Amino acid sequence: MMPNVPAVLPFGLIMGAVGSTAELSGVELGALNILVFAGASQLVAVDLLMRDVPSTVIVITGVVINLRMILYSVSLSEVLKGSSLPVKTLGSYLLTDQAYAVYTANSNQLNSRDEKVAFYIGAGLCMSFFWQFFVLIGFIFGNFLPSSLNLDFAVPLSFIALAMPTLKNKKYYYVALVSSICSILFYELPYNLGLLVSGAIAMIFGSFLLRSKK
């Protein structure tokens, strides 16, 4: 389970540092971290807050970023099928890119369904602990780092690292390319609509691409 720590460390530190740059209070950052518990959407939400984007737009944008979790949720639903409601609820809450990645990397070695559930919940709890811990460290020490280090650039970098393992073959690279080009073309659309429009076009393009055999 330890292999996921290096993935959470920079991400958590950045979240904490961004929170302190944005001058969020400890309670606000804590609530964001515990209630939302989804780093990528949190980082974007704080960035949009700083740019005075309307709250509704921020929520929609964050939700769109987290749509990818449907994929993990569908895959985990087969494992959690027989579990009790509290375990399903906890399992849902703990669903993150990193917990899912660690679980899928090890699921072949787990024999029974109970073992799989236990491993997944354990990985998720471990993840959540380190996440909260590193965010706190970033929040406390973020202010001391010089701005010449361009730490905010770590945000797009960490998103690249999140997306990369999901690109299974050439078709996924084409989808990423279409999304990139659209996002440059539609940048000036109001209300951050560029993201939604680009994402939608890339999804439609991708679903046609998947249908074609090659």
Partner 1 sequence: MKYEGIWFVILGLALGTFVIRSTFIYLSSRIKISERFKEIFSLIPAAIFPALVVPMTFYHKGTNEIFFYKERFIVLIIATIVCYKYKSVFITIISGLIILYVMS
- Name residues contacting partner 1, limited to 99-128 (CB under 8 A): none
Minimum distance from CB of 207 to partner 1 (Å)?
5
Map the chain to HEC letters: CHHHHHHHHHHHHHHHHHHHHCCCCHHHHHHHHHHHCCHHHHHHHHHHHHCCCCHHHHHHHHHHHHCCHHHHHHHHHHHHCCCCHHHHHHHHHCCCHHHHHHHHHHHHHCCCHHHHHHHHHHHHHHHHHHHHHHHHHHHHHHHHCCHHHCHHHHHHHHHHHHHHHHCCCHHHHHHHHHHHHHHHHCCCCHHHHHHHHHHHHHHHHHHHHHHCCC
- Contact indicator for 210, 175 with CB cutoff of 8 Å: no
Please tell me the distance from the alpha carbon of residue 37 to that of residue 27, in angstroms, as a whole number: 14
Contact stretch for partner 1 (CB under 8 A) within 109-117, 132-140, 188-196: 188-196
89 binds partner 1, rule: CB under 8 A: yes
Q: Which of 15, 17, 18, 80 binds partner 1 (CB under 8 A)?
A: 80
Of 122 and 199, the one with the shorter C-beta distance to partner 1 is: 199
Please tell me the distance from the alpha carbon of residue 14 to that of residue 106, in angstroms, as a whole number: 28
Q: Which of 6, 109, 111, 190 binds partner 1 (CB under 8 A)?
A: 6
Residues 20-39 that bind partner 1 (CB under 8 A): 22-25, 28, 31-32, 35-38
- Rg of the Cα atoms in the chain: 18
Residues 142-171 that bind partner 1 (CB under 8 A): 148-151, 153-168
Contact stretch for partner 1 (CB under 8 A) within 112-120, 126-134, 137-145, 197-205: 197-205
74 binds partner 1, rule: CB under 8 A: yes
Of 76 and 136, the one with the shorter C-beta distance to partner 1 is: 76
Contact stretch for partner 1 (CB under 8 A) within 102-110, 126-134, 135-143, 201-209: 201-209
190 binds partner 1, rule: CB under 8 A: no
1 binds partner 1, rule: CB under 8 A: no
Minimum distance from CB of 127 to partner 1 (Å)?
13
Closest CA to 198 of 210, 189, 211: 189
Minimum distance from CB of 1 to partner 1 (Å)?
16
54 binds partner 1, rule: CB under 8 A: yes
214 binds partner 1, rule: CB under 8 A: no
